[in-house]
Chain A
């Protein structure tokens, strides 16, 4: 299969880019946690309980109210190969925890991969919507519509004062986690990022790396999300996050302008050097590729590099992850083979856009 055909098939909607302020916001994501009343949370689940949750959700999914929200596919984790589960993790459609829940876990996926529902992860249900660009409100509306449709069929665990009850007390109340994935090379290059991010954490938000908890901020990509779920409404949570994110966007834009004015040669050299390496290198580890892709994307955004689609950052960031590489090449690959194949894939992808000089 050619690379462009593979990409057509394998890419989620969010990876194709587009949407408001998508030069800085790669994706917006809403995740809401819900549980069924009278059943133990997955941590204490027996097979019987897990099957009950899965069949209840499957029945609810068949209801016309749910069906009108799109075309959905259902799969149990144990029916998927380990590789396929990890591809879903790399595409941010399911969590690593769900991928490891082989016995009880299941996933519902809308065919454009904008919406997914994780079943029997930490909570019985986690409804997730991920969209390209800065679109938290739109993502919330869709997740909310799915929640309403499911709620008609499923008896949720809900308490009058505490709200939606979740397995972890850090999610109780609204059960909502709103997050945006931001590309902040300007703030990193100008040395302002740590100051900005510690300010962010003081206003009740969390900052993490590309693949969530514990991952480092490779490729200048950061995830900013709300921390508090109880005591504020969903709209308040989204508005708070949005206004802080908008400030980060403004600072990032200012930092990029300043870099371009004060250090144009240095910046152009960095960007073009990275482009050259990506276009010709024969081995590429994942850390270097993320850094180079970030440089190239910055170059595209600033008009230094022309004729390369801006989407390569999110596309290749995901496609050069271990499971995705092995999926594309259709074989198991060790770390050093992956470095070789990663370099090949990046070269091929760049050639789709340009004639490399």
Chain B
């Protein structure tokens, strides 16, 4: 069936509007349906991908029943709230993955096969990871050295840490 408005594309949106008992049927393509008016767009939105996704994301509450009021989970870098994320199905910035971490695993288990990346690692990130681990180790040794009042060793460790930090641009 062709769209009754543009007579060009296939009608994929079929809607029945009932106003005070009076029925009107619409057979439209997606483009015309979006242009046609607010109520159709709203009706379509209820079935689109993001909405289905946000249904998956908002797993705490049953459909139609608002979840318990709680402090909104918010990304401290871009300001996006978890609620906004579930509405659009998109994160605001890379940091959102950390900000929403408490609720992310359940979601990822649902849409992905696991929650741990096993594929390609960028060379640069590989170096960064190693540098970060080395730094953590040195700081720990530094604390131990200070606690044990081994100041000569501590000074040496401090220099090493500075050197590493400078190399990584901190």
B133 to chain A, nearest CB (A): 10
Contact indicator B125/A156 (Cβ below 8 Å):
yes
Binds B, one of A10-18, A128-136, A163-171, A185-193: A163-171
B170 contacts A by Cβ under 8 Å: no
- A169: contacting residue among B108, B118, B122, CB under 8 A: B108
Contact indicator B124/A173 (Cβ below 8 Å):
no
A152 contacts B by Cβ under 8 Å: yes
Contact indicator A231/B93 (Cβ below 8 Å):
no
A44 contacts B by Cβ under 8 Å: yes
Chain A residues, Cβ within 8 Å of B7: 335
Chain B residue with the shortest CB-CB distance to A339: B8
Chain B residues, Cβ within 8 Å of A41: 90-94
B146 contacts A by Cβ under 8 Å: no
B10 contacts A by Cβ under 8 Å: yes
Residues of chain A in range 289-334 having any CB-CB distance to chain B below 8 Å: none
Residues of chain B in range 92-151 having any CB-CB distance to chain A below 8 Å: 92-94, 97, 104, 107-108, 111-125, 129
Q: Could you tell me the distance between the alpha carbons of A279 and B120 in the complex, rounded to whole angstroms?
A: 50
Q: Could you tell me the distance between the alpha carbons of A242 and B151 in the complex, rounded to whole angstroms?
A: 61
* Interface size class of chain A, counting residues whose CB lies under 8 Å from the partner chain: 35 or more
The answer to whether residues A234 and B97 also contact, given A44-B92, A158-B125, A167-B90 and a CB cut-off of 8 A, is no
A144 contacts B by Cβ under 8 Å: yes
Q: Pick from A43, A122, A229 the residue with the most CB of B within 10 Å.
A: A43
B72 to chain A, nearest CB (A): 17
Chain B residue with the shortest CB-CB distance to A218: B10
A207 to chain B, nearest CB (A): 16
B89 contacts A by Cβ under 8 Å: yes
Contact indicator A151/B123 (Cβ below 8 Å):
yes
Contact indicator B119/A163 (Cβ below 8 Å):
yes
B87 to chain A, nearest CB (A): 11
A64 contacts B by Cβ under 8 Å: no
Q: Could you tell me the distance between the alpha carbons of A156 and B121 in the complex, rounded to whole angstroms?
A: 11
B15 contacts A by Cβ under 8 Å: no
Contact indicator B93/A39 (Cβ below 8 Å):
yes
Chain B residues, Cβ within 8 Å of A159: 94, 97, 117
Contact indicator B94/A35 (Cβ below 8 Å):
yes
A160 contacts B by Cβ under 8 Å: yes
Q: Can you pick out 5 interface pairs between chain A and chain B where the beta carbons lie within 8 Å of each other?
A: A38-B94, A39-B93, A172-B97, A228-B112, A233-B118
Top 5 closest pairs, chain A to chain B, by CB:
A163-B117, A231-B114, A157-B94, A230-B112, A174-B119
